[in-house]
Amino acid sequence: MSDAVSAAVLDGLLDPLTRCLGPGSARGIAELRVDAAVQARIDTLAERANNGELDEDERAEYEACINVADLIAILKLKARKQLSSNGG
């Protein structure tokens, strides 16, 4: 599946969710920050990945972190869009 098709499918799944967000929820998502301990773990995995040092379990963990971070980034963008379209 191409990136464009994947993005369209993801938009189709997430748009109904973001339309359900009230201003407070949208702001909460838009302002979401990763816990320092979680970010430190991601940073460690990233460094190990860049050095080619990840074992199989760490690679799976890092890939999961990247996927979740991508999803959160998309949700944050959609929440900001929802806020701006509602004057919030």
Q: pLDDT tens across 9-51, in order?
A: 888 888 888 888 899 999 999 999 999 999 999 999 999 999 9
Q: Check pLDDT > 70 for residue 88.
A: no
Q: Is the dihedral of CA 53, 59, 63, 69 positive or negative?
A: negative
23 near 86, Cβ under 8 Å? Answer: yes
pLDDT digits (tens, 9 = 90+) for 55-65: 999 999 999 99
Integer Cα distance of 30 and 24 in angstroms: 10
Q: How many CA atoms lie within 13 A of 45 on its CB side?
A: 18
Closest CA to 41 of 17, 58, 24: 58
